[in-house]
Structure 1
């Protein structure tokens, strides 16, 4: 991965998505910056995951634009957005439960031919890289275990390894600490910090406020489908609009 000199990475302008009469994302203007750990927070139902899905091509927005490095990626297919340099994880881990840990990581780049890949010396580079990433996230000793036999936290680490296999410049994580024990939360936080130090940008949706405030450089707060506040953690956590959205005070 080559770090970019561009400050602004991902931008949305007027982004909107409705489901029936519910405007899940409502004219959202958001900017996330390259080289930073950005967080997207807000109460349940504030539109964070729908926003992620619109950005990454899982669903098409009704109106508005998504640009990345100045390129319009609005409504593009997920594989095209991935090729543009954006990887993502999901609230509920998307893994192949009956495939091994190693096979899952390889499937991130060669899904149709994993068995052939494992049997072929021509793809040794891919296999070596997959093993390096398993070591990086700390589950290399589980490479032959079926993914369904991992703990939920280990599945989160496996999903992250799969995201990294595609070598994205920007990584979008949807609740990486959800359902994970404190020791694995610390490991995930350490991975985000080290990967960010190497030049990768992060956009993280998370409800664990201690993690958000300790990890993030820039925080965007959503309420009712649009941003109501943004800035460094020290500013955001004391903003009265944020306290009202979360606590009703």
Structure 2
């Protein structure tokens, strides 16, 4: 019996330099579609630059990015989002003086507030936004301004904003950063539940307890390139990973 492997997010020879620094260096890697993938590595190993190349925030110098077998290299972020990839950022990107509900509507609507609300009422986006706020557990803050939320609550708001576009693959950049243990558990449970519903995840994270408990597949970067990949247990025991983190 032949097993069919669903192609997801893949890069071939991806490279990006800043001056003489090779932030991403000939990175060829395939993430497991339908699974929770983690991308780990020491500080400065190129993880966020890799994210930015994949999602069109910056253009790679060389190599390619493909998603579901389609070349998406160098496309602008909104076109990559339409292809089915959503992402969060290492530092939360919310509109601080807008309400929690308005922040979610902003992720799917036109650039003026009347446009957001008018089209939202027509298309049911307000209802969807409220459902997502309830799902991430901050529906009681619907009318609060985003600047009044804790940092962990802003992370939940950003995740809800990503979900507004219903992406097939969700890329999270350090979701545990600055989050208290209770909210971190909520984020982890959301990832597990969404993955069970068919969402693919690619998570950059330094919290190794979270990575090892949440991930199906782990890729390790060092100096801009993948040096190891496998299950959490395989990666944990790989001497190349230990050397990258601890030094030879």
TM tier, shorter chain?
A: over 0.9
Please, what TM-score do these two structures have when normalized by structure 2?
0.96
Aligned position for 1:108: 107
Q: Which runs of 5+ in 2 are unaligned?
A: none
Aligned position for 2:133: 134
User: CA 1:39–1:150 in structure 2 vs 1: closer, same or farther (change >3 Å)?
Assistant: same
In the alignment, is the contact (CA less than 8 A) between 1:6 and 1:69 conserved in 2? no
Report the Cα offset of residue 248 of structure 1. 1.1
Aligned position for 2:193: 194
Question: 2-side partners of 1:68 and 1:121: how far apart?
Answer: 29
Aligned residues: 245
Aligned position for 2:122: 123
Report the Cα offset of residue 120 of structure 1. 6.7
> 1:74-129 CA distances to partner (integer Å, 9 max, x unpaired)?
00000000000000000000110000000000100004143344357843611000
Equivalent position SS for 2:124:
helix
Aligned position for 1:88: 87
User: CA 1:76–1:116 in structure 2 vs 1: closer, same or farther (change >3 Å)?
Assistant: closer
1:155 paired to 2:154? yes
Please, what TM-score do these two structures have when normalized by structure 1?
0.96
Q: Which structure 2 residues correspond to residues 237-248 of structure 1 after superposition, within 5 A?
A: 237-248=236-247
In the alignment, is the contact (CA less than 8 A) between 1:117 and 1:123 conserved in 2? no
Report the Cα offset of residue 8 of structure 1. 2.1
Aligned position for 1:55: 54
Q: Which runs of 5+ in 1 are unaligned?
A: none
C-alpha root-mean-square deviation of aligned residues, in Å?
1.3
Aligned position for 1:228: 227
1:79 paired to 2:78? yes
Question: 2-side partners of 1:65 and 1:121: how far apart?
Answer: 36
